[in-house]
Every structure is written in C-alpha cells, then in structure tokens.
Amino acid sequence: MKALLFLLTLFLILPNPISAIDFVFNGFNDSSSNISLFGIATIESKILTLTNQTSFATGRALYSKIIRTKDLITSSVLPFSTSFIFTMAPFKNTLPGHGIVFLFAPTTGINGSSSAQHLATGRLVQSHKILAWSFSNSNFSLSDSLITTGLPSFVLPKDSILKAKWFVFVLALICFLVVAVVGLVLFAVVRKRLERARKRALMEDWEMEYWPHRIPYEEIESGTKGFDEKNVIGIGGNGKVYKGDKAEIFEADSSEDVESWMLKKMGSRGISREFWYGSSSHPTIEQIRLQSLSVSLSSWNSSILEGR
C-alpha cells in the first residue's frame, strides 16, 4: 500500500511531459508537407500569399501537425512564442481589409465559413503575404532565427502616366492649342488669298497686261525699313528717293541688288508723290517716267496717289 502511494505521489509531482513543437520557415516551398493551404491562399516564389484582390474570398494556411495548447492535468494554457514577417498592402482605389490573424483551429479546412464575414475578405480586400514564420512552445528565442535581410519589396506600382488626371488635362490642352494654331494659320492663309483675289479684282486691264504694279503701303514701308534715312539715295524737288528690297516688297523668292530698286517718298505738298521702282529685269510702262530719276515707272500705290 505504501509503495502504491509513493508511486502515485511521484506521478503527481513529476511534470507532465509535453512534446515540443519548434519550426522556422524562412520562405515557403510548394512541397512543404507541414503547411496546408485553403481557399485562395497560394505559395509563389517562397512567399505565402493569403489573400489577393479577390472579394468575398477566404485564404488560410495551417500548420498540419497537432500542437497541444493546454496542460492535460491542470488545463492551464501552455505558453508558446510565434513570430511573423509579413506585409499588408492595399490595392489602388479599394478600401483596405482588416489584416491577418493567428489562431489555433480544432479542425482543418474552411467548410461552413462565410466569405463575407469573420475571417474573409468581403468587399474590403488587400494583399496579405507571409515571408517568414517561427513557432516554439519550448524555445522562446527561436524567432532570432528569422532572416530579416534581403526581403523583397512590395511597394505598390505607380499608375501609368497615361492614366494620370494631370496628363489627360495637359494632353487635352496641347491638342486644343495645336488645333487653335492650325486654325489660325489656315485662317491667315485663306484671308491672305482672299485679299490677293480682292486686289486682283480691283486691278485694271492695263495693269494686268504689264504686271501687277499696285503695291500696298505697308509692304513699301517694310521694304525701306520704315523709310530709314540710311536707305536715302537721292533728294529731289518733290521729296526723297529711297532704295528698297524686292524680296520684302514683292514677296520674291530671293533679294536682288537693293540699289536697283528706287522708291520715292511723298513730298510735303501731298500731290502725286508716288513710290516708284525700276529694274531692267521687269517690263516697264514706257509712257510714264519720273522726270527726276532715270528709271521707268513700273509700280504705284493708290493711297499715295490719292494723297493719303
């Protein structure tokens, strides 16, 4: 009887043996027999992805071996230590989820779970990835074995510049400006052609026979550089004589010798002070000559003739 009592006392004093569970995952393999995946959980490139952008879904990864959590005699919770290296990243224009949770499950699988409540994404989704995981119920410093260097980056990719609002605005503005500039150029070209057609309609038959001799005042002023005194080549009783550039006055393809173009400025009396030019390369009106110059008249300006 005493021997039996001694054995019973010894059994109660000795601590209840607990099978130690220790594991460290610095990355995961598809062939890992100790990790069971459920729902949308996947393993790619040694990274355990629990959830992705799928709404109303469940992702779960369980350690397949049984882990005792309570003392068989006292029913007290047994201590343990677990550590994770994980990342949680939201998706663009999507409300984030509620994060991840560590739990002990009495059964495996996700049968009977709701994809809209509890440990599911519902409408709120984000990316949850596990890079490393350690667990121990005997060695509480096992987490020091986790590798924390050289981890991949999961920064959200930047939106394409083509989708940026400011780019769309700038592109629309540039298109508008291009269309406006092209429209203005076309308007100017059409207006210039119409103006030329109008001037030709005003010309008399004798003008068309020899050459278009009517010259706008603005072109004459431009050809003489604003009647620059440097272009004065002579002074007569009716005014000054200037030299001008054919390319600027007649819109020619190239400039000829400016000394061959003679222009006379209107005198102070305001009567018949024409702007003439003469050149041997163009026909002239032989019936009309400027007495003070040895050149033939081959152009005129109606505004000057009228004393404007």
Q: What is the DSSP string of 76-118?
A: PBPP-EEEEEEEEEEPTTS-----------SS-S-TT--SSSS
Mean pLDDT score, 93-115: 71
Other CB atoms within 10 Å distance of the CB of residue 261: 25
pLDDT band at 274 (very low <50, low <70, confident <90, very high): very low
Residue 86: pLDDT over 80: yes
At residue 151, the pLDDT reads 85
Least confident of 71-75, 235-239, 241-245: 235-239
At residue 180, the pLDDT reads 93
At residue 224, the pLDDT reads 78
Other CB atoms within 10 Å distance of the CB of residue 192: 10
Distance CA 133, CA 227 (A): 91
Residue 213: pLDDT over 80: no
Residue 183: pLDDT over 90: yes
Mean pLDDT score, 137-164: 79
Whole-number percent of the chain with pLDDT over 70: 55
Give bridge partners of residue 26 from the DSSP assignment: 132
Decide if 230 contacts 245 (C-beta within 8 A). Answer: no
Burial 232-249 (b: 16+ CB within 10 A, else e): eeeeeebbbbbbbbbebb
Residue 165: pLDDT over 60: yes
At residue 208, the pLDDT reads 58
Domain positions in the chain are 15-155, 158-202, 212-305
At residue 196, the pLDDT reads 79
Collapsing DSSP to helix, strand or coil, 231 comes out as helix
Residue 15: pLDDT over 50: no
Mean pLDDT of the chain: 69
Residue 187: pLDDT over 90: yes
Residue 91: pLDDT over 70: yes
Pairing of strands 262-264, 81-90: unpaired
DSSP state at residue 153: P
Residue 18: pLDDT over 90: no
Residue 256: pLDDT over 70: no
128-149 pLDDT, tens per residue? Answer: 888 999 999 888 889 899 998 8
Mean pLDDT score, 24-43: 82
At residue 235, the pLDDT reads 74
Per the model's pLDDT, the better-predicted residue between 269 and 247 turns out to be 247
For 170, phi then psi, to 5°, come to: -65, -40
Least confident of 91-105, 152-166, 260-274: 260-274
Distance CA 224, CA 242 (A): 7
Tokens of 16: 């209840």
Residues 6 or more apart in contact with residue 8 via CB below 8 angstroms:
none
The correct answer on CATH 2.60.120.200 for the domain covering 15-155 is yes
At residue 154, the pLDDT reads 74
Tokens of 192: 């210039």
